[in-house]
Amino acid sequence: MKGPLLEVKDLKVHYPIEEGFLSKSGNVVKAIDGVNFSIYENETYGLVGESGCGKSTTGKAILRLIEPVVGEVIFEGKDINQISRKEMRKVYKDMQLIFQDPYASLNPRMTVGQLIEEPLIVNSNLNSGERKVRVSELLEIVGLNAYHAPRYPHEFSGGQRQRIGIARALALNPKIIIADEAVSALDVSIQSQVLNLLRKLQREFGLTYLFISHDLSVVKHISDRIGVMYLGRIVEQGTKHGLYDKPLHPYTQALFSASPTIKAESRKERIVLKGDMPSPTNPPTGCAFHPRCFAAMSKCKTVQPKLQNMGDGHYVACHLYDE
């Protein structure tokens, strides 16, 4: 098997908290705190977790849209976290992002055509005529029409706008697309249309996806492998079937049991978690999940568990499975 297309190693995003004028408190928000995973060509890797767990930050940190980022992001064998901004701009040809909010991510003052043409202007050698052909092509690919090009985004529905966003992401023939809650803002009926479009595009163009969502059913629908995030770290990772059939981490079990559409085989009744997710400013010691965990042991308070291989590509970070 070939090596991974994208490999994320110990990725961290820590924001300093500014107390105000001239004084820095030294406290940091650990938005993500050591994330590791790999994505292979032509697969879809789903990243799930509650809001605030750092999954969106992970997606944006990979593309260096948030800074500063510590850690390695190895794309096609090169650590793109170390290269200059200028070189990074070329990497965007191969890595694209689809945004959650199709309303906010399109400049309201530009027409759809201009929006889709823009990546071609900044990151390709096509001339004006070629770009216009390509725009028309892209509109057809995502299920819109060429006559939509001279209109403004506010003239479209949410689903159509997300298609515009997809066309924009597709314009440069990327190898990997990071879809950040790409369907969360849409109605359920529209969601499946857009998901089907994404799958069709993957088949046609051999795309690789990093699919970020809080919605377990959506992730299950589209992903090949899945990582579960909690408070800035991946706590469990496995193939879709491995994970959904046999969730190992107590958090994953709780998450799945709370989802009305997903029935985890191992547990039928709902597990209710105590309390809220702690603040990433002041995460609990040891395993970050221990204050809410129904299976917490004394070890969990002090020792942070590492991801361990449970076989069949299933990994979990929990002391329950320590040898």
Q: How many residues bind other proteins (CB under 8 A)?
A: 58
Q: How far is the CB of 45 from other proteins (least distance, A)?
A: 19
* Residue 88 vs residues 32, 39, 85, 105, 302: alpha-carbon distances, Å: 21, 20, 5, 21, 39
Give the residue with the Cβ less far from other proteins, 87 or 265. 87
Q: Which of residues 35-64 bind other proteins (CB under 8 A)?
A: 60, 63
Give the residue with the Cβ less far from other proteins, 100 or 253. 100
For residue 156, report the phi and psi dihedrals to the nearest 5 degrees.
-115, 160
Binding to other proteins by residue 89, rule CB under 8 A? yes
**Candidates 109-117, 231-239, 283-291, 296-304 — which segment interacts with other proteins by CB under 8 A?**
109-117
CB 317: neighbour CB atoms within 10 A?
Answer: 23
Question: Tokens at residue 302, please?
Answer: 């002090």
Binding to other proteins by residue 298, rule CB under 8 A? no
**Candidates 25-33, 70-78, 111-119, 286-294 — which segment interacts with other proteins by CB under 8 A?**
111-119
Alpha helix ranges (H) inside the chain: 55-62, 85-91, 112-123, 128-141, 158-170, 188-205, 216-222, 240-245, 250-258, 298-302
Q: How far is the CB of 250 from other proteins (least distance, A)?
A: 35
* Binder among 7, 33, 117, 181 for other proteins (CB under 8 A): 117
* Binder among 119, 247, 250, 305 for other proteins (CB under 8 A): 119
Report how far residue 272's alpha carbon sits from residue 23's, in angstroms, rounded to the nearest whole number.
Answer: 41
Report how far residue 279's alpha carbon sits from residue 29's, in angstroms, rounded to the nearest whole number.
Answer: 8
Binding to other proteins by residue 68, rule CB under 8 A? no
For residue 204, report the phi and psi dihedrals to the nearest 5 degrees.
-70, -40
Binding to other proteins by residue 277, rule CB under 8 A? no
Strands 44-48 and 208-213: parallel
Residue pair 237/311 in contact by the 8 Å Cβ criterion = no
Residues that bind other proteins (CB under 8 A): 20-22, 60, 63, 65, 88-93, 96-97, 99, 101, 104-109, 111-114, 116-119, 122-123, 129, 132-137, 139-141, 146, 149-152, 165, 168, 170-173, 175, 201, 204-206
